[in-house]
Amino acid sequence: MSFECHEPSSVTDAVALGARFGEEGRFLAGGTDLIIQMRRGKVGPRHVMSLHRVSGLDRIEADGAVRLGALVTHRTIERCPAFQGPLQALVESAAVVGGHQIRNVATVGGNIVNASPAADVVPVLLALDATVTCLGPDGERTLTLDGFLTGPGQTARRPGELLTSVRFDQLPPGSATAFVKAGRRKAMEISVVCVAVRLTLDAAHARCQEARIALGAVAPTTLRARAAERALEGQPLTDEVLRRAGRLAAGECGPIDDVRASARYRRLLVETLVPRALRRSLERIGRAA
C-alpha cells in the first residue's frame, strides 16, 4: 500500500485537489472506514486528501433548518443539546456506532459517503428527509439523501466532489423520532438490522399526519419503507396499525443471508423493530405533549 498524502487547508483547496486526482483520490475524514478498507486491500487510492486542516466543516447549525458539517463527529452528535428532544434518534444512532475512540473521530459525512447499508446514522437522516450538499469543480449541488445513496459503497457523488454538509428541517410540533438496532452484542456492533422512524401526529394527536420509516442492513442501500409509511399516514396509530406497518416493512425490504444473520431473521427483526420504534416515538410525543 503506497499513496501520497495531501493536507488541504480549505474547502477550496480540497475541492481543487479532488478535481485534480478524480478517481485516484479519496478524501479522508475520520478514516474509520477508509483506512480499514485500504488495509484490507479493498481500495487503493493513489492520493489521500486528509480534511483535518479544513475548518468550518465540523459545526452543527440548528437555528431554523439543521445543518451538519461533513466533519461533525458522532461524538458531537451524541452530545448536541439540540438533538435531545424530537431529534433524539440522531443521538440514539450516533451513540451505538463503534466504541468511544471510533465515535470521537468518525464523521457524519464519512458515514454517508461510505454508503454502508448498515450505517446507523444514515437511516435517521433518511427519516428526516435530509439533503446533502456536494462541492465540486462544477460548483455546488444539493441532492436528496435518498437519491444520493445508490448502492453498497456507492453514491451519486462525482469523482473529486466533496460532500460538505447534510441538512434537514426542524420537525413540526407533535413529532418525534426513534432509532432501534439489533446486533449480536450490545456495543461495538454493526447493525444486523436498524430502524429509524419519524412520526408527526395531527393537532389532536389522534391520527398520524406524516410517517417516515428507514431501514438499515436489509437492502443494498439504507431504505425507506414507503408502503409501511403510507399504511400509517392518516390512521389512528393503534397497536394493530403499527404491527401492520412492521409486516409491510418486512415485505418491502430485501435482506440477504450473510455471516451476521440470515435474511429471514432480518425480516423478522424488521417486523418487530418497526412497531417497537414507532411505539417509542409515540411515547415521546405523548411525553412532550
Partner 1 sequence: MSTGPRVVGQRLPRLDAPGKVTGTAVYAADFALPGMLHGKVLRSREAHARLLGVDAARARTLPGVRAVITAADVPDVRYGGALKDETVFARDKVRYVGQPVAAVAATTREAAEAALAAIDVAYEPLPAVFDVEAALAPGAPLIHEAWPTYTAIPILHREGNVCNRARIVAGDVERGFVEADRVFEHRFRTGMVHQGYTEPRAAVAVWDTSGQVTVWSNTQLPFEIQNTLAEILALPPSKIRVIVPGIGGGFGGKLRVGVEHFAALLARRAGRPVKIVTTCEEELTAAYPRQSTRVELKTGVTRDGRITAKAGRIWFDTGAFAGSGPGVASVATLVLAGPYRIPNLLIEGYAVYTNKTNCGSFRAPSGPQANFAVESQMDMIADALGLDPLDFRLKNIVREGDEGPTGQVLTAVGLEECLRRAAAAIGWADRRPTADRGKGLACGWWTTTGGSSGVYVKLNPDGTVALNTGAAEIGTAALTGAAQVLAEDLGVDLADISVVSADTFATPFDFGAQGSRTAFAVGNACRAAAADLRRQLCALAAAQWGVAAETLTVRDKHVVGDGKRIALVELARLSQASGGGLIAHGTFIAPPTAYDAKRVEAHVYPAFHSPSFHAHAVDLSVDRETGEVTLHRYVVAQDVGFAMNPTYIEGQIEGGVAQGLGQALSEEIVYEGGRVLNPNLTDYKMPTTLDLPRVESILVEHPSPVGPYGAKGVGEPPNIEPPAAVANAVAAAVGVRVTTLPITAEKVALALSGEATP
Kindly list the residues in this chain that would bind partner 1 in the complex (CB under 8 A).
1-2, 182, 184-190, 258-262, 264-265, 268-269, 272-273, 276
Strand (E) positions, 31-182?
47-50, 60-61, 66-69, 131-136, 139-144, 149-151, 154-155, 162-168, 175-182
Find, among 107, 132, 147, 121, the residue nearest to 216 by Cα.
Answer: 121
Q: Quick one: 1 or 204, whose CB is closer to partner 1?
A: 1
CB of residue 209 vs partner 1: minimum separation in angstroms?
Answer: 28
Provide CB contacts within 8 A for 241, sequence distance 6+: 231, 232, 235
CB of residue 272 vs partner 1: minimum separation in angstroms?
Answer: 4
CB of residue 277 vs partner 1: minimum separation in angstroms?
Answer: 12
- β-strand pairing of 4-6 with 47-50: parallel
Helix/strand/coil for 214: strand
The answer to whether 25 and 45 are in contact (CB under 8 A) is yes
Q: Quick one: 79 or 264, whose CB is closer to partner 1?
A: 264
Q: Quick one: 62 or 265, whose CB is closer to partner 1?
A: 265
Which amino acid would we find at residue 23? E
Q: Quick one: 140 or 257, whose CB is closer to partner 1?
A: 257
CB of residue 183 vs partner 1: minimum separation in angstroms?
Answer: 9
What is the 8-class DSSP label of residue 197? E
Q: Quick one: 2 or 238, whose CB is closer to partner 1?
A: 2
CB of residue 84 vs partner 1: minimum separation in angstroms?
Answer: 22
The C-alpha atoms of residue 10 and residue 56 are separated, in whole angstroms, by 9
Q: Quick one: 156 or 263, whose CB is closer to partner 1?
A: 263
Q: Which residue has the cell 480540497?
A: 14
Find, among 201, 255, 200, 203, the residue nearest to 225 by Cα.
Answer: 255
CB of residue 171 vs partner 1: minimum separation in angstroms?
Answer: 28
